[in-house]
Amino acid sequence: MIATAAAEFRAALPDGGRLIGLDVGTKTIGTALCDAGWAFASPALLIRRAKFTRDKAALAELIAAQQVAGIVVGLPLNLDGSESPRSQSTRAFARNIADLGPILLWDERWSTQAVTRTLIEQDASRAKRAELVDKMAAAYILQGAIDALVRT
């Protein structure tokens, strides 16, 4: 099941449970996890992209180890809300991992900019920012989604 509305995704998770957030890039997949009560999201692993089968196996292992009930995937839209080739690629990725659990596609337009701004304010070096930005963007995406799910 792939949803674009928080209410539809929430209905697929009647008992709640931990969620994983994904910031899917061309070189890495940033991950974040939230608690079962959907209160806070924290950065988790950074998966370096390789072949899709390896990427999916790494995600499946993390999902099983953390007892994840649902997946929130950041959907990169254009600033005007329209879809881009990157959006289509992310949708295809979501379709290919749909057997791992219910998926919510979540607007991630401002996630990387917000996280980068925060890291710059914290005086993080460029190398440190490169290492952290995808995981933190995943947490930003997941936090936005769980905030909406709690309100639903």
Scored b (16 or more CB within 10 A) or e, 98-136 reads: eebbbbbbbebeebbeebbeebeeeebeeeebeebbbbb
Confidence of residue 144 (pLDDT cuts 50, 70, 90): confident
| Largest distance between two CA atoms of the chain | 42
Confidence of residue 102 (pLDDT cuts 50, 70, 90): very high
Greater confidence (103 vs 125) lies with 103
Residue 118 has pLDDT above 70, yes or no: no
Q: In terms of CATH architecture, what is 2-151?
A: 2-Layer Sandwich (3.30)
Domain boundaries, the chain: 2-151
CA distances for 112 relative to 9, 52, 57, 130, 133, angstroms: 24, 23, 25, 11, 7
Summarize pLDDT for 29-75 with one digit per residue, the tens. Answer: 999 999 988 899 999 989 999 899 999 999 999 999 999 999 999 99
**How far, in Å, CA of 46 to CA of 28, rounded?**
7
Residue 115 has pLDDT above 70, yes or no: no
Q: What is the DSSP string of 19-46?
A: EEEEEE-SSEEEEEEE-TTS--EEEEEE
**How far, in Å, CA of 2 to CA of 5, rounded?**
9
- The pLDDT, as a whole number, for residue 112 is 66
